[in-house]
Amino acid sequence: MDINTKKLKKNAFRVTKERGKTAARIRVPGGHIDAKYLIMLQEIAEKYGNGTLHITTRQGFEIPGISMKHIPEVNKALQPVIEGLDINQISPNTGYPAAGTRNVAACIGNNVCPFANYNTTSFAKKIEEVIFPNDYHVKIALTGCPNDCIKSRMHDFGIIGMTKPQYEAYRCIGCQACVDNCKKRATGALSFENYKAVRDHERCIGCGECVGKCPTSAWTRSHEKYYKLVIMGRTGKKNPRIAREFIIWVDEESIIKIIQNTYGYIEEYIDKNASGGKEHIGYIVDRTGFQEYKKWVLKNVKLGAKAVMVENIYW
Amino acid sequence: MENNMYLPFRSKIINIKPHTDIDYTFRMEFTGDVKPGQFFEVSIPKYGEAPISVNEIGTDYVDLTIRKVGKVTDVIHTFYPGQYLFMRGPYGNGFDVNIYKDKELIVAAGGTGLAPVKGIIDYFSNHIDSIKKFSLICGFKSSSDILFKESFKQWNPKIETTVTVDKEEEGYDGNVGLITEYVKKLEIENIREANVIVVGPPIMMKFTVQEFINKGIKEENIWVSYERKMCCGIGKCGHCKINDTYICLEGPVFNYIKAKELLD
Amino acid sequence: MGFSLNLTEFKNIFEELKKEYTVYAPKLFKNKGTYSDTNMVRYDEIHDIEDIEFDQKSHYSPKEVILPITQTLFYFTEDEVIEPKFNDKKILIFLRSCDIHAVKRLDEIYLKNGGEDYYYRRLREKVKFVLMQCEKSFENCFCVSMNTNETKDYSLFIKRKGDILFIEVKEEEFLSYLHNGKSEEVSPSFIEKNEVTANVPKDLDISIFKSPIWEEYASRCIACGRCNTVCGTCGCFTMQDIFYKDNVNTGERRRVWASCQVDGFTTMAGGHEFRKDKGDRMRFKVMHKIYDFNKRFGYHMCVGCGRCDDACPEYISFSNCVNKLNKVVKGEI
């Protein structure tokens, strides 16, 4: 059997323990999928694989036990799924054009969760749209609120939903549900003065818990959606660490631009001798220093008036 | 500003008489109809209002005994004679002295509960001939909590008075024990006719009333005064409502037949 | 008398009405719901007929128009109390039958119980009702059970069908606004049946206090007070005195909505609280709505708008509680 494993991997298949057998990897940007596609995946698993399906940590699926010679058929069978999930493809019926940049993962977000501050899936899809296909190793995760259920702080880019709660003092009946709750579940940014809530803006993390607790809608979410962008978290054998805050109260457009710019930076600074031509973005930033990274990624980024960017990051 | 019941009037503090560290009686300028057991909403602008019952009524004054227990009363206690407080009222029904005339009357008061009934005691101590017999039992936490010490001296010869404190104390040789124990010992001449007024903290009222019932006092001859959170005093704010009864309107003084149905 | 008008014609009339009246109606507040990307419908001043939300039940009742959430009673200076300025422009409120009935309950407390409330009366006497048609019974509504599905107490009736508005004028002064309208027979059709029924027990008395049915609410209720704030008939308030930070010698006394479910409602100075248990608070509220208000005033307080059920984050249903009480009274549970 003559197989170009480099091409196989780039096509989102895996070299497995069992000789001649591969596994097909299906990315699901934003982690939300129409149930009808599961039937197609089931058919592929039963026809070409060993009848099982693995749910990956990055919210994709992996169909193991596929004979490598069936890759073209599997790619054809995957075509409606790829199209249905709006994946950027180079040519139809050839499967996924890249696998380096990983599936953009997201918590369930405001489609379902009462705590979420935005639609994580649709933002994830917007990011997928501009960064895929790409061979560089970048991991992105989106989470609806600072609870960070997706563990976005373990990723190169963690996008945490924020809102700027709007307070209409006239509607406040002084029940202090927001004040108590902020103390217990958030950061204690609220206090009670003259029978109304007073916010310490420095402490407010924009989680929106106060909005959820208010019985009169004195607290409501801002029309604008904000995010906390945390960067360069990672797992791995070498020096794992959690992502640190880069910009808070940042807007969606700026985040997309920063992620896009990151690819140019990787292009420039990646270790050309890295094994397999693959170097994780976090290690590149370690090498060039944060300031150089920052200079590159902020090109043409116009941060909003509320955005707060850190000067330096000490991971 | 026509008929705005929320607007308070200014009233001058004539004098202040401390009873304990936290209980002072404020004599306030007031002319108008008022009955013992009624209450005023007393306020200091910017701090708030507190419902305070009337304990003595003169031709141009009312006495309000105010315990220092919260935001408003803490500030009131820093005031001096000649300064002004704001008041609205009087509110509530108060005690009707005519009910008790020519019969035997027993008043059982716990702690500050003595304040709202003090007017009744004063009245009958001054009109002792209009009542058959008058007994007073007052309970306080300790001897330093005893209120109206001077009044007791005036009442004592005319009214059969028992003062008790909750626990034994060094250097105190008066009665010790809960009010209920003294109710048990009390000699009542005509159980079927005697009227009883019980005022005090909720738990004290509950047990004291029960003790009187055990002794054979008729429920319709028992009177109580209720204390509740009140913001308006005029049947709007809803805080004092129990069932279909507004304590501020129909109370705070209730016959026990009614009171026993008032379950919070 | 009835008229039909198209939207453009009505816009002109609306402009005329606005000269005489401040108009309040349910309005859709986009993305202002409790959860992200959800909407809110509540009362607000309306400047354009298109701003009126005809199709949804408002999350909050119209009571906030005549009983503001926060209302300044007067201002203090060093030794004076000064009433706030009062806007004497008349008020039109667009509302549904149940809400008109709810205002009657507020009137009972604020105008009759223990005398007239000055601040309420001033606002209330400026108000005229515009009845809105309920095309269908909304979720959780049980107005038919509470006899609030129909009303005659309105000055105007309006229903909207696409771009055509049908108007019934019951009060003569409004006829002058409608001289251009096409005459037509218009009258409201009222809801005759709700999906939800609340069987208010007739033989209820306070012996039900001892029933174990209240116990579950002690653990289910979180004492947030939403059932009270959305209710059209809850009118309790708390007095608040404040002083201004930049001049502590001046301040104001105001009243603010209160909730009998929230901690502190019965707490006296010194800390004694009469209803600590949330089951007791639920009992207090339910009995007020379907027992003791009736005992005092001769009709039930609850109007069956179902907003408390719509709003409860713990899915406690008021109507279901009433039905359970009915079963207890009948000896079925």
CATH number at residue A174: 3.30.70.20
Residue C133 has pLDDT above 80, yes or no: yes
Give percent helix, percent strand, percent coil of chain C, each to the nearest 5.
Answer: 30, 25, 45
Q: How many Cβ pairs within 8 Å bridge chains B and C?
A: 125
Using the beta-carbon criterion (under 8 Å), do C224 and A215 form an inter-chain contact? Answer: yes
Using the beta-carbon criterion (under 8 Å), do C32 and A170 form an inter-chain contact? Answer: no
C329 Cβ neighbours under 8 A, 6+ residues apart: C201, C202, C203, C204, C208
The pLDDT confidence band at residue C181, using thresholds 50, 70 and 90, is confident
For A84-139, where are the E strands, in sequence order? 105-106
Query: Distance between CA atoms of B165 and B145, rounded to whole angstroms?
Result: 9
What is the domain range of residue B168? 97-225
Please tell me whether residues A155 and A247 are part of one structural domain.
yes
Return mean pLDDT, chain A.
96
pLDDT the model gives residue B264: 87
The pLDDT confidence band at residue C211, using thresholds 50, 70 and 90, is very high
Q: Do residues B219 and B240 lie in contact, with contact meaning Cβ atoms separated by under 8 Å?
A: no
* Residues of chain C contacting A123 with CB distance shorter than 8 Å: none
Measured in angstroms, the CA of C70 and the nearest CA of chain B are apart by 13
Measured in angstroms, the CA of A114 and the nearest CA of chain C are apart by 6
Token pair for C254? 């105001």
- Minimal-distance CA residue of chain C relative to A110: C36
Nearest to B70 among C236, C265, C269 (CB): C269
User: Which of B42, B73, B91 is where one domain is finished?
Assistant: B91
Check the annotation: does B138 bind a ligand.
no
Count of structural domains, chain A: 3
Using the beta-carbon criterion (under 8 Å), do B86 and C81 form an inter-chain contact? Answer: yes
Nearest to C118 among B4, B48, B71 (CB): B4
pLDDT in tens, C51-110: 999 999 999 999 999 999 999 999 988 778 899 999 999 999 999 999 999 999 999 999
A 10 A CB-CB count for B248 gives 28
- Minimal-distance CA residue of chain C relative to A120: C36
Phi, psi of C239 (to 5 degrees): -90, 140
Phi, psi of B42 (to 5 degrees): -100, 135
Residues 98-137 of chain C whose Cβ lies under 8 A from any Cβ of chain B: 109-110, 113-120
pLDDT the model gives residue A156: 97
Please tell me whether residues B206 and B117 are part of one structural domain.
yes
Chains that touch B (3 or more CB pairs under 8 A): C
User: Which of A53, A84, A115 is where one domain is finished?
Assistant: A84
Using the beta-carbon criterion (under 8 Å), do B6 and C248 form an inter-chain contact? Answer: no
Per-residue pLDDT averaged across B25-38, rounded?
94
Strand partners, C45: C24
Q: Do residues C99 and C232 lie in contact, with contact meaning Cβ atoms separated by under 8 Å?
A: yes
Query: Distance between CA atoms of B188 and A60, rounded to whole angstroms?
Result: 88
Residue A74 has pLDDT above 80, yes or no: yes
Query: Distance between CA atoms of C118 and B112, rounded to whole angstroms?
Result: 33
Contact A163/C at CB under 8 A: yes
Using the beta-carbon criterion (under 8 Å), do A110 and C225 form an inter-chain contact? Answer: no
The pTM of this model reads: 0.94
Residue B1 has pLDDT above 60, yes or no: no
pLDDT in tens, A131-152: 999 999 999 999 999 999 999 9
User: Which of B91, B120, B151 is where one domain is finished?
Assistant: B91
Query: Distance between CA atoms of C236 and B201, rounded to whole angstroms?
Result: 25
Per-residue pLDDT averaged across B17-42, rounded?
94
What's the CATH number where A74 sits?
A: 3.30.70.3340
* Residues of chain A contacting C59 with CB distance shorter than 8 Å: 217
- Alpha-carbon torsion, ordered C134, C136, C141, C142, to 10 deg: 90
Contact C298/B at CB under 8 A: no
A238 Cβ neighbours under 8 A, 6+ residues apart: A283
Please tell me whether residues B87 and B101 are part of one structural domain.
no
Return mean pLDDT, chain B.
93
Contact A215/C at CB under 8 A: yes
Distances (CA, A) of A24 to A129, B217, C27, C157, C306: 21, 90, 51, 65, 52
Measured in angstroms, the CA of C277 and the nearest CA of chain A are apart by 17
Nearest to C69 among A114, A118, A173 (CB): A173
Does A96 fall in a domain? Answer: no
Of B75, C222, C260, C70, whose CA–CA distance to A195 is shortest?
A: C70
Q: Do residues C284 and C190 lie in contact, with contact meaning Cβ atoms separated by under 8 Å?
A: no
In sign, the C-alpha dihedral spanning A48, A49, A55, A57 is negative
* Residues of chain C contacting A117 with CB distance shorter than 8 Å: 36
Q: Tell me what ipTM this predicted complex has.
A: 0.94
Q: Do residues C188 and C228 lie in contact, with contact meaning Cβ atoms separated by under 8 Å?
A: no
pLDDT the model gives residue C179: 78
Residue C254 has pLDDT above 90, yes or no: yes
The pLDDT confidence band at residue B2, using thresholds 50, 70 and 90, is low
Distances (CA, A) of A172 to A90, B166, C75, C229: 55, 44, 19, 11
- Minimal-distance CA residue of chain A relative to C260: A175
pLDDT in tens, B139-177: 999 999 999 988 988 898 889 899 999 998 888 888 899
Using the beta-carbon criterion (under 8 Å), do C209 and B4 form an inter-chain contact? Answer: no
Using the beta-carbon criterion (under 8 Å), do A212 and C35 form an inter-chain contact? Answer: yes
- B197: enclosing H helix or E strand: strand B195-199
pLDDT in tens, A170-220: 999 999 999 999 999 999 999 999 999 999 999 999 999 999 999 999 999
Does B206 fall in a domain? Answer: yes
Query: Distance between CA atoms of A66 and C145, rounded to whole angstroms?
Result: 64
Check the annotation: does B231 bind a ligand.
no
Using the beta-carbon criterion (under 8 Å), do C239 and B48 form an inter-chain contact? Answer: yes
Please tell me whether residues A231 and A282 are part of one structural domain.
yes
Please tell me whether residues B109 and B221 are part of one structural domain.
yes
What's the CATH number where B220 sits?
A: 3.40.50.80
Q: In chain C, where are the structural domains located? A: 2-66+79-184, 206-330
pLDDT in tens, C290-322: 999 999 999 999 999 999 999 999 999 999 999
Please tell me whether residues A65 and A137 are part of one structural domain.
no
Please tell me whether residues A244 and A291 are part of one structural domain.
yes
Residue C178 has pLDDT above 90, yes or no: no
Return mean pLDDT, chain C.
95
pLDDT the model gives residue C333: 84
Q: Do residues B26 and B64 lie in contact, with contact meaning Cβ atoms separated by under 8 Å?
A: yes
Give the up-direction half-sphere exposure of residue C191: CA atoms within 13 A in the CB hemisphere.
27
Of B196, B208, B187, B70, whose CA–CA distance to B139 is shortest?
A: B208
Residues 33-52 of chain C whose Cβ lies under 8 A from any Cβ of chain A: 34-37, 40, 42
Please tell me whether residues B82 and B148 are part of one structural domain.
no
Please tell me whether residues B106 and B160 are part of one structural domain.
yes
Q: Do residues C220 and C281 lie in contact, with contact meaning Cβ atoms separated by under 8 Å?
A: no
Per-residue pLDDT averaged across C240-253, rounded?
89
Does A47 fall in a domain? Answer: yes
Check the annotation: does B240 bind a ligand.
yes
Token pair for A270? 């990646």
What's the CATH number where A286 sits?
A: 3.30.413.10
Q: Do residues B107 and B135 lie in contact, with contact meaning Cβ atoms separated by under 8 Å?
A: yes
Phi, psi of C44 (to 5 degrees): -160, 165
Query: Distance between CA atoms of C191 and C148, rounded to whole angstroms?
Result: 10
Does B236 fall in a domain? Answer: no
A 10 A CB-CB count for B18 gives 10
Of A189, A238, A227, whose CA–CA distance to A210 is shortest?
A: A189
User: Which of B91, B115, B144 is where one domain is finished?
Assistant: B91
Contact A254/C at CB under 8 A: no
Between B154 and A108, name the one with better pLDDT. A108
Measured in angstroms, the CA of A143 and the nearest CA of chain C are apart by 13
Percent of chain A residues topping a pLDDT of 90:
97
Contact C82/B at CB under 8 A: no
pLDDT in tens, C187-210: 999 999 999 999 999 989 999 999
pLDDT the model gives residue A275: 82
* Residues of chain B contacting C243 with CB distance shorter than 8 Å: 46
Per-residue pLDDT averaged across A31-51, rounded?
97
Count of structural domains, chain B: 2
Token pair for B148? 């109206």
Contact C18/A at CB under 8 A: no
Of B121, B14, B115, B125, whose CA–CA distance to B59 is shortest?
A: B14
Of A249, A250, A248, A287, whose CA–CA distance to A265 is shortest?
A: A287
pLDDT in tens, B219-228: 999 999 999 9
pLDDT in tens, C318-332: 999 999 999 999 999
Please tell me whether residues A239 and A281 are part of one structural domain.
yes
Contact A110/C at CB under 8 A: yes
Does B258 fall in a domain? Answer: no
Token pair for B193? 């006719």
Using the beta-carbon criterion (under 8 Å), do B67 and C270 form an inter-chain contact? Answer: yes
Does A153 fall in a domain? Answer: yes
What is the domain range of residue A287? 105-162+225-309
